[in-house]
Structure 1
C-alpha cells in the first residue's frame, strides 16, 4: 500500500458542502478530486486549466467607475439640463 501525506486546507463551509455534493455526483470524494487535480497538474506541468482574470458584469463595472470618480481618477460628467443628459445617453446607444 502507498504511503500517504496529509494536506490541511481551510475553506468556507458552504464551498465544502457544494464541492462534496458536486464530486459526490461523480461518485468520488473531495479528497479523490484533489488527488485528480494534483496528478493532472503534475502531468500537465502546471494548472490543468487556463487561469484568467474574472470578467466583470455591467453592475461591477459601474461600481468601479463610481470609485474612480470618487477618488479623482476620472472626472464625472455633468449636464446643465435633463434634455442634455438624455441626448448624451441616447448618443451612447
Structure 2
C-alpha cells in the first residue's frame, strides 16, 4: 500500500490531549486519524453524530422546575443545614 503525508493545523492543546488519549489506547495520532478516515469512508459520512447539544425532555423539565422555584421561592422549602435536609429527604 502506497502512503502519502497529510498536514493539518490544530490547537496545540487539543493535539496534546489527543496524543495522550490515543497513547492510552495503544496507538499514535497517525493510527487514530487513519481509523477515523476509514470509518468515514465505510459509513459515507462522519462516524459519529454531529448535532446541536439539545437537552432531553427530562432535562428541560428540570430546568423549568428550577426556574419556577427561583420565581416563587416562597412556595418551596429551603435548607441551610445539610443534616436537616437529609432528615427530611429520608423521612
* Alignment partners' CA distance in 2, 1:55 and 1:22: 26
SS at match of 2:72: helix
CA RMSD of aligned residues (A): 2.2
Gaps of 5+ in 1: 57-87
Q: Which runs of 4+ in 1 moved over 2 A?
A: none
Pairwise CA distance, 1:4: 1.0
- Compute the TM-score of the two structures, normalised by the length of structure 2: 0.58
Matches within 5 A, 1:1-20: 2-20=1-19
**What is residue 44 of structure 1 aligned with on the other side?**
43
Gaps of 5+ in 2: 56-69, 77-91
**What is residue 24 of structure 1 aligned with on the other side?**
23
* Alignment partners' CA distance in 2, 1:90 and 1:5: 64
**What is residue 90 of structure 1 aligned with on the other side?**
72
- Compute the TM-score of the two structures, normalised by the length of structure 1: 0.57
* Alignment partners' CA distance in 2, 1:35 and 1:44: 14
